[in-house]
Amino acid sequence: MSSDASRDAPRRRPRPTITDVAREAGVSTGTVSHVLNGSRDVSAERRERVMRAVRDLGYVPNLLAQSLRRNRATLIGLCMPHAAFGYFVALSEAFEGLAAEAGYDILHVFSRQDSDTELHRVETLLRFDIGGLLLLPSWEPGATLDRLARAAVPTVILDRPIEDARFDQVRVDVRAAMRRAAAELLARGHRRLAFVSANPRLLISRHRIEGLRQGLAEVPRASLEIIERSENAATFLEQLATAMRGPKRPTALLATNTQGVEQVVRALAALGLRCPEDVSLIAVDEPPWSEMATPRLSAIRPPASEVACRAWELLLARMQGVRPRVRRLALEPELRVAESLGQAPARR
């Protein structure tokens, strides 16, 4: 029976070639190439025949072969942990637009925040002979960075405060963002803050905590509690319930990433705590649904478009052979104040 099934299985159709397109359109392969690459004027009638053949045959140009023929890489690699955060999605979309304007295509890969997976994904990109790489690295990217340095591929590091003088970097100044958030909360009478993070030991979390403490330093009675958020919703509900008991409970929460903010919002509702009447909330890294929430969320909004533009400029300069000193740019995000941020509640 297995042999019958094998005989009956449909065979994969061979991938159509540029020769097939030329034969179908009744033109030379050179004409097909000129139509697809825009490298020479072709009559409207011939262009239409070529494009009709491309559609009918399902022909897909080999971008790698094209780049080798032109002696110009047309592919740019983009490696990031995932696309679960609104900020990462915004970065990706911005790079897509910038690449299209400059005549490049973006190859996306995801590291899943794992250093071994990251190295494997980057190796795959290198086999495509990419012209450059935009890397939002994992938390332990040493092996990947060493591999990129050996490959001498133009690379820009995104959004990670990495001490590595070999690569241009563009990141968000998270300390400045948190100092601004602290100042806004202090101005509204808040003195007891809590920072909610799934992993406060990560470098970016430590920098955020440093920024908050710097912002609170001028007010002696101000305090900061660190809540290490459990990924389990029931466990986190207990964590938040414990933190919100007693006379010294925080009057304002700052929660990181989309999942963390969602957990906090759900937990506050389950505990019967009103926002901002009982506790104010600031989302660190604005979730995509922040303006649809009730109340609308105050949020730190990373400048995704500006980060992408500056990183793209640095990458193109490296790809074009410009060799200035390594640049390390830190861009300040926006704090958008909305309904979830209110005056500190009166003492009880």
CATH of the domain at 262: 3.40.50.2300
SS3 306: helix
Indicate whether 134 belongs to any domain: yes
**Average confidence (pLDDT) over 189-197:** 97
Are residues 308 and 281 both part of a single domain? Answer: no
| 117 and 215 co-located in one domain | no
What would the mean pLDDT of 207-232 be, rounded to a whole number? 95
Domain count, the chain: 3
Look at residue 340 and tell me if it is in a domain: no
Q: Is the entire prediction scored with pTM above 0.85?
A: no
Q: Quick one: 181 and 292 in the same domain?
A: yes
Same-domain status, 245 and 196: yes
179 and 296 together in one domain: yes
Burial string for 58-88 (b: 16+ CB within 10 Å, else e) reads ebeeeeeebbeeeeebbbbbbbbbeeebbbb
Do both 137 and 84 map to the same domain? yes
Asked if 126 and 229 sit in the same domain, the reply is no
Percent of the chain scored above 70 by pLDDT?
91
256 and 107 within one domain = no
Question: Mean of the pLDDT values across residues 34-57?
Answer: 83
Residue 201 lies in a domain: yes
The answer to whether residues 164 and 197 belong to one domain is no
Instruction: Answer yes or no: is 213 within a domain.
Output: yes
Highest mean pLDDT among 98-102, 210-214, 246-250: 210-214
Q: For residue 343, tell me if it sits in a domain.
A: no
Examine the domain organization and report whether 21 and 162 are in the same domain. no
Note down the domain range covering 91.
Answer: 73-172+304-333
Residue 348: strand, helix, or coil: coil
Q: Is 157 found in the same domain as 124?
A: yes
Answer yes or no: are the C-beta atoms of 191 and 223 closer than 8 Å. yes
**Is pLDDT above 60 for 221?**
yes
Is the pLDDT at 73 greater than 80? The verdict is no
Considering only CA atoms, give the Rg of the chain. Answer: 26
Residue 17 domain-assigned? yes
Mean per-residue pLDDT, 251-278: 95
- Taking 50 as the threshold, does the pLDDT of residue 274 lie above it? yes
Q: What is the pLDDT of residue 4?
A: 43
The answer to whether residue 205 sits within a structural domain is yes
Taking the C-alpha atoms of residue 30 and residue 35, their distance in angstroms, rounded to an integer, is 9
Q: Give the pair of three-digit tokens for residue 283.
A: 């989302």
Residue 339 lies in a domain: no
| pLDDT score, position 287 | 84
Q: Is 286 in the same domain as 195?
A: yes
CATH label of the domain that carries residue 13: 1.10.260.40
